[in-house]
Structure 1
């Protein structure tokens, strides 16, 4: 075993990897790495890109996105609107799960009830749904509260589980706190099946020989290694221990590009990196007892936004990769507001004046929660923000942590300010409004990722109108109004659109989609 592989095993992945990794690999075996291990194998347990992206190799939905991000049929061959009442999906016949069980409408209905349950992290996807009806073994109706032209797009990551398998293994509902059989095991219909799962160490997938679709890949065995240390992952690629890494650290871009036999895959992700605030807290965690919450004041939030030089973050920390963001979606997304295209100007002097006018001339102390293994250069970005805010009299108590514990921290409200990245699953501006801006309402399944509790009565009024509006001009006008409200009230501080930076051996052909999902069904390895 090479010295580097021993380093990877002991420093980043655990000693158990040493005996597990193959000493050599055939041309069609594939190994890749990323810093974040998927938290679970349960497609309804955790709603994050590392989980959903990985599980799209194992599980399938009624629809899927192709290489160009267009919606196409998957477990549903076709679908049509039921007037204004919802959508009918005609299921594909002859599909089997990895264990050989037949797929039918009962699995769809079971998966809907499971994914829409309170225990599921994906329940908010089904806010528009009032009822699901099984018409026959291969036809299912999703009836909505109101006309919903975006519904098929919105369920591209709604993955179908086998009802019998889940119930037999006591996994009829997801359980993020205690985990279930489905948290460590999987039984999908997708192109790859789970062979072995060692959380934090490695996960191995092999082809599903009974897959209904035509294979485009030549992967015979795929091994995923979570490597948290950026230098270790680059070293593993340079020495050939792995075939692909995601992401390439920005400081190593030139090195990867200059190395013979390696390819840098560069693109722009749909993800906007932003800051969120504790809008509803009575007292800041970083403030003195009884000092109240100045972040409830929009002028204070606007001052913080003006104190942050987003262009400098892109130019220096991201080394020119990515783009400055002005709103919660990038300009490539449907519904992007040209009227909100200008980000409030960087102006530290104006920020100081605004803070003084708000009675904070003596300073302000904020706790700041940040990941250190989820987004590109996330910890460095947060440290830079803390430094920028210090220049205007805002003291930041920065806490960085791995993503595996981050979402629980945010849900517990243990922050005054926090870092968040958001990629709209529908590639439409309505998506972050529903999840991040709508007033949290578990009954209506709205605002499920609005950790700070931002609330706007006008946004809440406009959102259902946006969701049912068919006329493009009328819909865009409402999205423009929402974007203006979010920007004027500084509900969030958009920072930048994250770049896509993948590195691979030049023998590897792959598809780099802007949702940052890495799908093995498009991977080929040249001899």
Structure 2
């Protein structure tokens, strides 16, 4: 990872004289992902959080080196097991001049669980907050219903809104631009859904001056189109660099590559609950009367038939690593000593016979197209491996927004997705814990997986302030998940950006954030 010191603001420290190098024309970025909505509390995705994080701000910033840094909060401390105290920056204002006040924090935290129709809510990050106490104009205390050891990390994606400006703001208001008033280093200019977002420098920003006077984000979902736009000079920077273009870009003196190992895991989730489940058939094409995915031996067979090493080496040109558990290697609370997940088609066939599926069966696997580089190709490789093992597999990919809304509605039985976070405990809390609307856990557990052997230690870990004990409990839960294969991890992503060498430098984000904050003039 690139490690660069931050100033008091969220910007990277610039070398002396960098202000003189500021460009007259805007930074133009070609992005693979399309925002699913401009309300910063609507959908927790990397694309949304990164783009909206230029306009709105959080209390705490997760830096690209993995450390927590001040943003709207200058400092924070534990008062007791149920209380966190945050000291705020004085004099911060929203883009229209409205002052940012501690009451706005209470409003923002109360608003998060009230946003309707979220395909991926932020609720678990705020659910433990019982009350926000305004101590004085620069001090707030969060009183929680249980010990919340990860609280500063939990809130790195909770953007602050104004109780005066946003009291009745809807998703439509944000998409239309009416609600796009934050405290961030960039101000909203325009948004054309599915096409582009434009922002301009906030001259009244409380922190370091933004390095670009304007920034334009063009949504180029086609990988070839992004690379072509960069080579033609139509954009200065692209994300989701196509793997097949990395050798060419490395040999092109006009292009600079910016890469980092991510904290993102790609995974497959099978439906282990419904009986029967949709999109599964016998060899004659008739719907199955029982769900084979409920048998752990079938899930083991699915895992054994995934050629993880081949996917990373040949399909992704070495950009990434085969997964051996749900949590990425850089997460501090993952299990350190799990073996690699083997590839063994013969053993997969034997397990299917043991489970009573000697003749195999058919299934459809669903996933997004263009969510990560090569996702559709990855699914084809998985399908080929499963077909060789005796499970005839058909791949169906959809635009990300369509896929995630339908997956959340449980229209599918086997889904492919990714998840990004800064702790293994949070990955499991969000994706693998038994979904519980009362506590907010499991919002991304789209197929309603449930495993008491995971839930029990993880519930305790999430309220344990002692780090060693908490890590041990988290690792116990991860071992239970890995053994049961309720989530089948595939690979850990490596994030790549490419830019015009004479125009831009980029600090690559393990969270896969693409925005103008992380870009500086060459």
**Structures share a fold, TM > 0.5?**
yes
Q: Using the alignment, how far apart are the partners of 2:291 and 2:457 within structure 1?
A: 28
1:211-268, CA deviations, whole angstroms, 9 ceiling, x for partnerless residues? 11112x4201100000111111111101111000001100011111111211011221
User: Are the aligned partners of 1:29 and 1:221 in contact in 2 as well (CA < 8 Å)?
Assistant: yes
Quote the residue 1:155 is aligned against: 155
User: Are the aligned partners of 1:278 and 1:451 in contact in 2 as well (CA < 8 Å)?
Assistant: no
User: Are the aligned partners of 1:276 and 1:419 in contact in 2 as well (CA < 8 Å)?
Assistant: yes
Quote the residue 1:9 is aligned against: none
Matching residue within 448, 452, 474 for 1:453: 448
1:207 aligns with 2:205: no
Q: Using the alignment, how far apart are the partners of 1:365 and 1:525 within structure 2?
A: 52
Matching residue within 334, 337, 351 for 1:336: 334
Aligned residues: 490
SS in 2 for 1:165: coil
1:274-316, CA deviations, whole angstroms, 9 ceiling, x for partnerless residues? 1111121221222344611111111111111011111011011
Matching residue within 344, 348, 352 for 1:347: 344
1:405-452, CA deviations, whole angstroms, 9 ceiling, x for partnerless residues? 11111111121211111111xx11111110111100011101110112
User: Are the aligned partners of 1:109 and 1:132 in contact in 2 as well (CA < 8 Å)?
Assistant: yes
Quote the residue 2:27 is aligned against: 30
Q: Following TM superposition, by how much is the alpha carbon of 1:203 offset from its aligned partner in structure 2, in angstroms?
A: 0.9
User: Are the aligned partners of 2:146 and 2:463 in contact in 1 as well (CA < 8 Å)?
Assistant: yes
Quote the residue 2:189 is aligned against: 195
1:428 aligns with 2:423: yes
Taking structure 1 as reference, are residues 130 and 280 closer, same or farther at Cα in structure 2, changes over 3 Å only? Answer: same
Quote the residue 2:411 is aligned against: 414
Gaps of 5+ in 1: 1-24
How do residues 469-508 of structure 1 correspond to structure 2 at under 5 angstroms?
469-507=464-502, 508=504
1:83-136, CA deviations, whole angstroms, 9 ceiling, x for partnerless residues? 111211222111000111111012111111111336352112123222222333
TM-score, length-normalised on structure 2?
A: 0.91
Q: Using the alignment, how far apart are the partners of 1:28 and 1:149 within structure 2?
A: 45
Q: Using the alignment, how far apart are the partners of 2:517 and 2:409 within structure 1?
A: 38
User: Are the aligned partners of 1:40 and 1:184 in contact in 2 as well (CA < 8 Å)?
Assistant: no
Q: Following TM superposition, by how much is the alpha carbon of 1:343 offset from its aligned partner in structure 2, in angstroms?
A: 2.8
Q: Using the alignment, how far apart are the partners of 2:433 and 2:152 within structure 1?
A: 21
Q: Using the alignment, how far apart are the partners of 2:115 and 2:353 within structure 1?
A: 44
Q: Using the alignment, how far apart are the partners of 1:471 and 1:164 within structure 2?
A: 39
How do residues 246-325 of structure 1 correspond to structure 2 at under 5 angstroms?
246-285=239-278, 286-287=280-281, 288-289=286-287, 291-325=289-323
How do residues 64-83 of structure 1 correspond to structure 2 at under 5 angstroms?
64-83=61-80
How do residues 42-53 of structure 1 correspond to structure 2 at under 5 angstroms?
42-53=39-50
Quote the residue 1:93 is aligned against: 90
- Could you list the runs of 4 or more consecutive aligned residues of structure 1 that deviate by over 4 angstroms after TM superposition? 25-28
User: Are the aligned partners of 1:268 and 1:499 in contact in 2 as well (CA < 8 Å)?
Assistant: yes
Q: Using the alignment, how far apart are the partners of 2:90 and 2:405 within structure 1?
A: 40
Q: Using the alignment, how far apart are the partners of 2:145 and 2:268 within structure 1?
A: 33
User: Are the aligned partners of 1:42 and 1:184 in contact in 2 as well (CA < 8 Å)?
Assistant: no
User: Are the aligned partners of 1:307 and 1:348 in contact in 2 as well (CA < 8 Å)?
Assistant: yes
Quote the residue 1:513 is aligned against: 509
Q: Using the alignment, how far apart are the partners of 1:499 and 1:230 within structure 2?
A: 16
Q: Following TM superposition, by how much is the alpha carbon of 1:26 offset from its aligned partner in structure 2, in angstroms?
A: 5.2
Quote the residue 1:366 is aligned against: 363
Q: Using the alignment, how far apart are the partners of 2:266 and 2:57 within structure 1?
A: 28
1:294-353, CA deviations, whole angstroms, 9 ceiling, x for partnerless residues? 11111111111011111011011101110111111111111010232x133111111001
Quote the residue 2:433 is aligned against: 438
Q: Using the alignment, how far apart are the partners of 1:118 and 1:511 within structure 2?
A: 32
User: Are the aligned partners of 2:309 and 2:322 in contact in 1 as well (CA < 8 Å)?
Assistant: yes
TM-score, length-normalised on structure 1?
A: 0.90
Q: Using the alignment, how far apart are the partners of 2:71 and 2:115 within structure 1?
A: 26
Q: Using the alignment, how far apart are the partners of 1:137 and 1:100 within structure 2?
A: 17
Taking structure 1 as reference, are residues 444 and 118 closer, same or farther at Cα in structure 2, changes over 3 Å only? Answer: farther
User: Are the aligned partners of 2:323 and 2:341 in contact in 1 as well (CA < 8 Å)?
Assistant: no
SS in 1 for 2:393: strand
User: Are the aligned partners of 1:278 and 1:413 in contact in 2 as well (CA < 8 Å)?
Assistant: no
1:479-521, CA deviations, whole angstroms, 9 ceiling, x for partnerless residues? 2211211111111111111111110011212211211112423
Matching residue within 460, 463, 466 for 1:465: 460
Q: Following TM superposition, by how much is the alpha carbon of 1:457 offset from its aligned partner in structure 2, in angstroms?
A: 1.4
SS in 2 for 1:267: strand
Q: Using the alignment, how far apart are the partners of 2:251 and 2:176 within structure 1?
A: 40
Q: Using the alignment, how far apart are the partners of 1:28 and 1:282 within structure 2?
A: 58
Q: Using the alignment, how far apart are the partners of 1:384 and 1:518 within structure 2?
A: 28
Gaps of 5+ in 2: 1-21
